[in-house]
């Protein structure tokens, strides 16, 4: 049937539906769970411009994924708003047949100047990372001393531009767990969905320890103390957040619990890193280079076949297999390359 999505699955019967593409490894923050300042310091070597995928290369990759069944594209980083010509990339993504959802994950600081342009280009949604409402806590979390107001202004700009907004909060015990209730109350009042994310062992540089994880169950109990929640049905296969609604309202709150409630069984996401490497898991140790393939002259048919072959061999289910030992000893790609 014309327009029908192809049906092919990995070894665990999971279809390919989502592409997450990192457009840069650079960031203006040094968040403790992603790019800790003691490792990503002034002398850290980020990728040169020629090492990044070009806009044309990223668009071709997105076209291939769309023709293979991907319906959603999420733009990540690093901080994607640092990438030159980002609105042009969004505009070209929006023109790809089959892509029905284009979203972006950002720390929000540059949304004030870019939100309207991105909306006009075709961006539909933004997920803004904000880990505290109290300035001193947030400055400690982001590692560069930026206060909360620039992010809140970015959120307001995104809403004013007509973008759908969600807020992501990574919770790390002893760092920002005091902010769970203030964040929940504030964004409930703003009618903005808030996602609490368990501190995960992405990469090898964030010093992950299971003792620093505040679990979904613990966060849920705290929120119930000020407003009861009721569960919502899953919106689509592969949704990572467990979604709830504050009783008597239409405002959502959600939990991404990769550590305590694995969602590997329904993972439909592929990731392309800032240097053009395809990964089939957020916690992957190794990937395969699409950039090398493209720069060797591969056409779209060859790239599509390559991606299909990789996906059909996919067996990743790291979160189901995680142990404290593997979490600390297994080498994994850094989040600054692969995005969230």
| Bridge partner residues of 106 (DSSP) | 128
Establish if 6 belongs to a structural domain. Answer: no
d(CA 338, CA 114): 23
Check: CB of residue 167 under 8 Å from CB of residue 187. yes
Residue 94's domain is classified under what CATH number? 3.20.20.70
Check: CB of residue 47 under 8 Å from CB of residue 53. no
- In the chain, the number of structural domains is 1
Establish if 226 belongs to a structural domain. Answer: yes
pTM of the model: 0.93
- R_g (Cα) of the chain, nearest Å: 19
Establish if 245 belongs to a structural domain. Answer: yes
d(CA 60, CA 95): 12
Q: Could you tell me which residues come within 8 angstroms of residue 198 by beta carbon, excluding any fewer than 6 positions away?
A: 170, 171, 213, 214, 215, 216, 255, 256, 257, 258, 259, 260
Establish if 7 belongs to a structural domain. Answer: no
Domain carrying residue 304: 18-338
Establish if 220 belongs to a structural domain. Answer: yes
pLDDT of the chain, 340 residues: tens digit per residue: 445 666 789 999 999 999 999 999 999 999 888 888 888 888 899 999 999 999 999 999 999 999 999 999 999 999 999 999 999 999 999 999 999 999 999 999 999 999 999 999 999 999 999 999 999 999 999 999 999 999 999 999 999 999 999 999 999 999 999 999 999 999 999 999 999 999 876 656 655 677 889 999 999 999 999 999 999 988 777 678 899 999 999 999 999 988 888 878 899 999 999 999 999 988 888 999 999 999 999 999 999 999 999 999 999 886 766 666 566 666 767 767 777 6
Q: Token digits for 44? A: 């850290």
d(CA 103, CA 97): 16
Establish if 154 belongs to a structural domain. Answer: yes
Establish if 1 belongs to a structural domain. Answer: no
Q: Token digits for 198? A: 């368990």
């Amino acid at each position: 049937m014309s327009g029908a999505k192809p049906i092919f699955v990995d070894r665990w019967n999971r279809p390919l539906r989502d592409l997450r593409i990192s457009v840069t490894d650079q960031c203006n923050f040094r968040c403790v769970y992603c790019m800790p300042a003691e490792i990503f310091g002034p002398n850290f070597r980020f990728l040169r411009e020629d090492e990044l995928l070009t806009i044309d290369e990223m668009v071709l990759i997105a076209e291939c994924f769309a023709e293979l069944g991907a319906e959603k594209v999420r733009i990540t980083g690093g901080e994607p708003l640092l990438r030159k010509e980002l609105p042009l990339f969004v505009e070209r993504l929006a023109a790809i047949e089959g892509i029905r959802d284009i979203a972006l994950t950002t720390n929000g600081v540059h949304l004030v100047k870019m939100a309207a342009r991105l909306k006009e280009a075709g961006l539909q949604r933004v997920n803004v990372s904000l880990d505290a409402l109290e300035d001193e806590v947030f400055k400690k979390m982001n590692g560069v001393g930026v206060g909360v107001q620039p992010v809140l202004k970015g959120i307001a700009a995104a809403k004013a531009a007509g973008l759908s907004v969600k807020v992501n909060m990574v919770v790390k015990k002893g760092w920002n767990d005091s902010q769970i209730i203030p964040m929940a109350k504030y964004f409930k009042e703003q009618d903005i969905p808030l996602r609490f994310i368990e501190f995960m062992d992405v990469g090898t540089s964030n010093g992950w320890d299971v003792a620093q994880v505040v679990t979904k169950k613990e966060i849920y109990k705290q929120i119930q103390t000020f407003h009861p929640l009721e569960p919502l049905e899953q919106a689509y296969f592969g949704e990572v957040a467990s979604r709830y609604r504050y009783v008597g309202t239409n405002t959502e709150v959600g939990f991404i619990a990769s550590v305590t409630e694995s969602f590997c069984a329904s993972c439909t996401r592929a990731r392309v890193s800032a240097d053009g490497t395809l990964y089939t898991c957020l916690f992957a140790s190794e990937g395969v280079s699409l950039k090398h393939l493209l720069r060797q002259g591969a056409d779209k048919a060859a790239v599509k076949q390559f991606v299909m072959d990789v996906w059909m061999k996919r067996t990743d289910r790291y979160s189901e297999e995680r142990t404290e030992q593997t979490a600390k000893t297994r080498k994994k790609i850094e989040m600054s390359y692969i995005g969230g």
